[in-house]
Structure 1
Amino acid sequence: MKYIGFILFTVLTNAAAQLMLKYGMVQLGPLSFASVNPILKILQIVFSPWVFLGLSTFVISMASHLYVLSKVELSFAYPFLSLAYVAVAAFAYVMFREDLNAFRIAGIGFICIGTVLIAQSGGSHAETTTPETVKTSELAR
């Protein structure tokens, strides 16, 4: 549980990156590769300010996630990323007026319940590392 802060930072930066990418793509308008060189269009997309900021935020999120993976079990850390969907759905509703119907709200509730259950399970490497797993990992090198 001591790495929850890093896990939540990963979740929030992941969600923020999604929102920035969406905002950037809305600013660019509908994509059309018909009249423009596709490589130039891709460069225009990647280097538009909000898309670039979103991609940069993804890099920060992934660096944080890699740190988390070095400290806790993957089966513990990875499900927390589903909380990014919760944040994205809520902010997309507010920022982009996206639909948040009863089925999505129920799904968000299930995601939250599942994440709470997983959080109760612990999940640091120190709790589960045995001499056998250390020997196996040394053999893999």
Structure 2
Amino acid sequence: MNLSTFSIIFAGVLLNSAAQLMLKAGARSLGAVSMGSTASLVQAAWGAATQPWIGVGLVCYFVSAALWIVALTRVDVTIAYPMLSMGYVIAALLAWQLFGESLSAGRIIGIAIILIGVVVLGRS
């Protein structure tokens, strides 16, 4: 995989991770969504539709998907798809920083294993 293709994949992964974090920020502003009635679901849907973080997060997903399509024209899916796991690493670290989510020893070990796998795949 050349640097150009890796850059496209990495930009898509970054946008996908940003989308996750924006959706989380928007979901935090909504609070817990009750699944008890149609009215509560409609209210939650309206709240989500009018929440700016959720809107921007969805745009990031769309652009990320477009970059993914470009990447798939350049590299086998068996190489590209595992690269998406970098998104977990990025999202986990940023969620820890931005939202105070925990990073246990098990999660840190998992992140290290993911990074090793990405390096191995990138060199194959």
Q: What is the RMSD computed on CA atoms of the aligned residues?
A: 1.4
* Mapped pair 1:108 → 2:122: no
Provide the TM-score with structure 2 as the length reference. Answer: 0.91
Contact 1:33 1:41 in 2 (8 A): no
Provide the TM-score with structure 1 as the length reference. Answer: 0.81
Note the alpha carbon deviations across 1:58-113, whole angstroms, 9 max, x for none: 00100100110111110111111000000000001011110101100000000000
Larger radius of gyration between Structure 1 and Structure 2: 1
- 2 CA distance for matches of 1:67 and 1:43? 33
- 1 CA distance for matches of 2:32 and 2:40? 16
Shift of 1:29: 1.1
**Secondary structure of 2:62's partner?**
helix
- 1 CA distance for matches of 2:69 and 2:97? 30
- 2 CA distance for matches of 1:17 and 1:100? 20
Point out the more displaced range, 73-82 or 46-55: 46-55
Q: Which amino acid in structure 1 is aligned with residue 112 of structure 2?
A: G
Identity between Structure 1 and Structure 2 (%): 38
* Mapped pair 1:85 → 2:85: no
Q: Which of residues 6, 12, 23 in structure 2 aligns to 1:21? A: 23
- 1 CA distance for matches of 2:40 and 2:23? 22
Contact 2:33 2:40 in 1 (8 A): no
* Mapped pair 1:42 → 2:49: no
